[in-house]
Amino acid sequence: MAEFTPQPSCADPQDQQSLNVEQARAHIDTLLLPISSWQKLALREALGHVLHQPIKSPIQVPPHNNSAMDGYAMHSSDIQADSFTLTQVGIAYAGQPYIGQVAKGDCVRIMTGAMMPPECDTVIMQEHVAVDGHSITVHGTQNPGQNVRMAGEDIQQGDSVLPAGHRITPADMGLIASLGIAEVITKRRLRVAFFSTGDELRSIGESLEAGQIYDSNRYTLYGMLKRLDADVLDMGVVPDNKAALKSALQQAAAEADVVITSGGVSVGDADYVKEMLAELGEVNFWKIAMKPGRPLAFGKIQDALFFGLPGNPVSVMVTFYQFVQPALRKMAGENPQPLPLMQVQTESAIRKRPGRFEFQRGILFENERGELKVRTTGQQGSGILRSMSVANCFILLDEECDGINPGTIVTVQPFAGLV
């Protein structure tokens, strides 16, 4: 494991364990090993999987010269300045080529996508033609080669169409099918085990006694992991005691590539958690100069990567999206680009104190003039999970920022796009 040198943070100059967001990401990167095992999948099964090998085209696309219009296929050498007349000798439909010769002065009625007769190189739009029996008269300016899609103009045989490391989207499914490819070689799915810690937690279906709450983190984690197409192992709630925690961590690490826990990593949490993690592997406890999500434990337990996320429900989601998700994507074999950011004017005032980088929850919306604006979801407590539910973006606020007035341009990270 790479040596980890704690960096002092501007948030707390006394605190040698404090890191900023970028430093935490960089350290996580040093421990990531992409999965090497692979499998062959039928195309439909491959949605959301990561390609182990590039997709190379076994054919050229389009496979033959074809018409881009409904019209008449002809020899460009027959084009004359103002108008000219040709004799129609046959019809070519998509999938039903015209079989026969097309002599000079002849033409073939042709439909969009139909194969061009080999002698023809030009298509006249049907709107430019007056038909009289088998004789057609062409009006208007015509250019040699017009309205023809050439064989191989999209893709040449042997071209690499999708690189290794690409996660297959619905568009890719169609693209791969268009090449006649029925099976693809993808990375094995990442196996992720997770559990919640806390004596106060009950699972849905159980009744609540005084002081108890329902465990929500296992559900947000399940959802976020499923979106990454991970193979998930939900290990339930583990009480705050050493033996239970130790055996859960050992079992999780034995069965999964990645282990994620929530809760139990704050400063106030029992020291046995740290002791035990030191026995099981190499785990660092970080205080990240961010809000929410200040405490984070990260390292290895046996051969598994370990993320000990904070317990607060919003902190779980923010630390997952900012650290765990990019790490899992790299381990799955992807080369993820940083999520796109946008500069947008805020309609609301934003409260913040200098010191930590904040991921506040925001709502991007269009105002009555059709302009894109953002406003906060209101209360930003790290236990208010509803703020994530109503939000559609994070508002990113630098360490130094000490509050923002309405009308200021802010950086936002939208939650979702079309894929």
Which residue's Cβ has the minimum distance to ligand AMP?
Answer: 311
Phi and psi at residue 207, to the nearest 5°: -95, 155
Of 265 and 332, CB closest to Mg ion:
265
Of 313 and 362, CB closest to Mg ion:
313
Q: Measured from the CB of residue 316, what is the shortest distance to ligand AMP in angstroms?
A: 8
Tokens of 259: 């282990």
Of 9 and 262, CB closest to ligand AMP:
262
Question: Nearest-CA neighbor of 197 among 280, 298, 310?
Answer: 310
Q: Which residues bind ligand AMP (CB under 6 A)?
A: 196, 198, 200-201, 213, 215-217, 262-264, 266, 269, 310-313
Tokens of 402: 């000490």
Give the number of other Cβ atoms within 10 Å of residue 415's Cβ: 15
Of 24 and 238, CB closest to ligand AMP:
238
The residue type found at 44 is: R
Of 217 and 377, CB closest to ligand AMP:
217
Of 264 and 281, CB closest to Mg ion:
264
Q: Which residues bind Mg ion (CB under 5 A)?
A: 198, 263-264, 311
Q: Measured from the CB of residue 205, what is the shortest distance to ligand AMP in angstroms?
A: 15
Interacting partner of 299 out of ligand AMP, Mg ion, none (Cβ under 5 to 8 A depending on kind): none
- C-alpha 108/C-alpha 130 separation (Å) is 14
Q: Measured from the CB of residue 371, what is the shortest distance to ligand AMP in angstroms?
A: 37
Q: Cβ distance 61 to 154 under 8 Å? A: yes
Q: Cβ distance 301 to 281 under 8 Å? A: yes
Q: Measured from the CB of residue 196, what is the shortest distance to ligand AMP in angstroms?
A: 4
Interacting partner of 313 out of Mg ion, ligand AMP, none (Cβ under 5 to 8 A depending on kind): ligand AMP
Interacting partner of 201 out of ligand AMP, Mg ion, none (Cβ under 5 to 8 A depending on kind): ligand AMP
Tokens of 67: 């018409």
DSSP 152-186: TSSB-TT-EEE-TTPBPPHHHHHHHHHTT--EEEE
Q: Show Cβ contacts of residue 260 under 8 Å, excluding neighbours closer than 6 positions.
A: 192, 193, 194, 221, 306, 307, 309, 320, 324
Q: Measured from the CB of residue 6, what is the shortest distance to ligand AMP in angstroms?
A: 21
Q: Measured from the CB of residue 149, what is the shortest distance to ligand AMP in angstroms?
A: 56
